[in-house]
Amino acid sequence: MTVQFPALPFANDALEPHISRATMETHHGKHHKAYVDNTNALITGTPLADASLEDIVRASAGRKSTAALFNNAAQAWNHAFFWKSLRPTGGEPRGAVKAAIERSFKTFDRFTSAFATASMEHFGSGWAWALLDGEKIKIATTSNAVTPIVRGKTPLLVLDLWEHAYYLDYRNKRADYVWAFLTSLANWAFAEENLRTASNLKLAAE
């Protein structure tokens, strides 16, 4: 079994004018595909050859000898999660995820402000996450390929902060890209699905 390169959940031009077809063709079709191809090359003939992508990420994390595998596998996982975090018609959260945000941040506006600040203050390449940490939603950023699934956290939504995610459309204006995500592209239905899955797993374990 090889790691599969996932199709986008929308057309390449579906996120315009916020993210262009050209960005999607390069970001998904070249960057993401390269991470998947590199992961498959690195696991060939190893005990991880038949493992799931998530298991490959966990098994390769934190070891110098498997740093190249982790960087590629984690980037493949992060990108697949990122595409699901986007939708052509964003908006504000509803239902359980809205209630969880309001418990943690009082208002959605406070959440978006905190998310934007964290995204802008993150230096260099990486990711901005909305996470479930215990009973609360928290915001965190990770550098390069680092992913919260190796830190015992449950990701709900993510924004790619690598320059290749936005430079063709926004040049060096990361703030405009971040606000486009928060106001027009964030897939809160996906976040709620992840929240409910985590809650159900917790209940099943109790």
Which DSSP string corresponds to 81-137? HHHHTB-SS-----HHHHHHHHHHHSSHHHHHHHHHHHHHHS-SSEEEEEEEETTEE
Architecture of domain 21-84: Orthogonal Bundle (1.10)
Domain definitions of the chain by residue range: 21-84, 95-205
Quick one: tokens of 203? 């209940």
Tell me the pTM.
0.96
Residue ranges in the chain assigned as alpha helix (H) = 21-26, 33-43, 53-60, 67-84, 95-105, 108-121, 167-170, 174-180, 188-205
pLDDT for residue 10 is more than 50: yes
Pick the CATH number of 95-205 from 3.55.40.20, 1.10.1740.10, 2.102.10.10, 3.90.1170.50: 3.55.40.20
Q: What are the tens digits of pLDDT across the range 166-200? A: 999 999 999 999 999 999 999 999 999 999 998 76
Output the six-digit token pair for 146: 């680092």
Query: Could you check whether 21-84 and 95-205 share the same CATH topology?
Result: no
Render pLDDT for 137-177 as a digit per residue (tens, 0 to 9). 999 999 999 999 999 899 999 999 999 999 999 999 999 99
* SS3 state of residue 160: strand
Look over the chain and give the mean of its residue pLDDT values, rounded to a whole number.
95
Asked, as a colleague might, if the bond just before 88 is cis with ω within 30 of 0, I would say: no
